[in-house]
Amino acid sequence: MKKLRTKDAAITVVIWLCALLTVSGLLWLVIYIVANGLSHINLEFLLSEYKGDKHGILPMILSTCYIVLLSLAISAPIGIGAAIYLVEFTKPGRLLQIIRFATETLAGIPSIIYGLFGFIFFVNVLKFNFSLLSGALTLSIMVLPVIIRTTEETLKAVPLSYREGSLALGATKIQTIWKIILPSAIPGILTAVILSVGRIVGETAAVYLTAGMVTRFATSVMDSGRTLAVHLYMLAKEGLSFEQAFATATVLIVTVALINLLMTKTVGKIKKTMNSR
């Protein structure tokens, strides 16, 4: 009995240590980078161009924003539409299985393969060259599974009684979806969108091979542009300036942390509204 107890205690210690290791790894990374980066962040760094002796990251911030908006403009409607079809129209069967398998496969394909595909298809075959458009098209396929799956989960959580009530009042299926189901699923859809923003902001390999790495201000979607993540990669790879790299990494970490915070907030809101029903 005593032997058992010491064994249990030892295992419990190992479990605590592993959890501690996970958290301390994260803390080490975040604190180290933010502590070194924060002092180099100022308005000039954030708001000036990257040219000559100016090392600002404004062009990269803008390129990142363009790519985020463009990718979402493409993938959000398609992804949400797909989720609606999967939840509201399909019966369990072959088609559903195939679509699900395709979504899982897309989710499992690594970003470098997306980059390679984007390079072959959008850059070379469709002749979009290295451009924000090529990057955004590639990324919109990459985030499609995120949007589909998250939206699907939210739509499933909308109570059946809502649908029944609406249909019983004589509304058509499309009216029910448009006026009853979608409005009550908005927080979940927002979560899907925020999640995708995080993926796009952090992506390097796929953007690097499709949108290029030009540091000018992009003036059209056919221009090449460098996102923040690619900028950090270039700075680190070429060993140009670790100060700028720390600062850029800090900007990225803060962005991701804000996105996560925003997400916890919306998820909390969903839970609240679901409970109040």
Partner 1 sequence: MLNKHCKSRIKKLRLNRFWEYIAERTLLLCASAAIVSVLIISVYIFYSGLPIFGKAGFREIVFGTEWKPLEGQFGILPMIIASIITTLGAVALAAFIGLMTAVFLAEIAPAGLAKIVRPAVELLAGIPSVVYGFFSLIVLVPLIDKYLGGGGNSLLAAVIILIMMVLPTIINIAESSLRAVPSEYKEGSLALGASQIQTIFKVQIPAAKSGIIAGIVLGMGRAIGETMAVILVIGNTPQIPTSLLDRARTLTSNIALEMSYAEGLHQEALFATGVVLFIFIMLLNIAVTFLFRKAGEGS
End-to-end CA distance of the chain: 50
Contact segment (CB under 8 A) with partner 1 among 10-18, 53-61, 218-226, 268-276 equals 10-18
Nearest approach, Cβ of residue 224 and partner 1 (Å):
12
- Per CB under 8 A, contacts with partner 1 among 21-40 are 21-23, 25-30, 32-33
Using CB under 8 A as the binding rule, whether residue 145 contacts partner 1 is answered as yes
**CB closer to partner 1, 48 vs 90:** 90
Q: By C-beta, is 16 or 53 nearer to partner 1?
A: 16
Selection from 191, 204, 207 nearest residue 259 by Cα: 191
Nearer to partner 1, 52 or 92 (CB): 92
Q: Are 167 and 177 in contact (CB under 8 A)?
A: no
- Closest CB to partner 1 among 56 and 79? 79
Please give the residues from 78 up to 117 whose contact with partner 1 meets the rule CB under 8 A.
78-82, 84-86, 88-90, 98-99, 101-106, 108-117
Per CB under 8 A, 58 contacts partner 1: no
Footprint (CB under 8 A) of partner 1, residues 201-220? 201-205, 208-209
Angstrom distance (rounded) from CA 122 to CA 115: 10
Residue partners of 74: CB distance under 8 A and separation at least 6: 136, 137, 140
Whole-angstrom distance, CA of residue 222 vs CA of residue 219: 8
In the region spanning residues 115 to 144, those forming contacts with partner 1, defined by CB under 8 A, are 115-117, 119-121, 125, 141, 144
Of 107 and 277, nearer to partner 1 (C-beta) is 107
Is 4 one of the binding residues for partner 1 (CB under 8 A)? yes
- The helix or strand, by DSSP H or E, that contains position 146, with its residue range, turns out to be helix 132-157
DSSP secondary structure string, 248-259?
A: HHHHHHHHHHHH
Q: How far is the CB of 187 from partner 1 (least distance, A)?
A: 18
d(CA 141, CA 84): 18
Which residue reads 């056919």 in tokens? 222
Q: Does 48 bind partner 1 (CB under 8 A)?
A: no
The residue among 154, 125, 153, 149 whose CA lies nearest residue 137 is 125
| Cβ atoms of 210 and 53 closer than 8 Å | no
* Residue with smaller CB distance to partner 1, 59 or 198: 198
Q: Which of 221, 259, 262, 274 binds partner 1 (CB under 8 A)?
A: 259
Q: Where in 159-188 is the site for partner 1 (CB under 8 A)?
A: 172-174
Sign of CA dihedral 118, 119, 123, 126: negative
Q: Which of 3, 94, 127, 237 binds partner 1 (CB under 8 A)?
A: 237
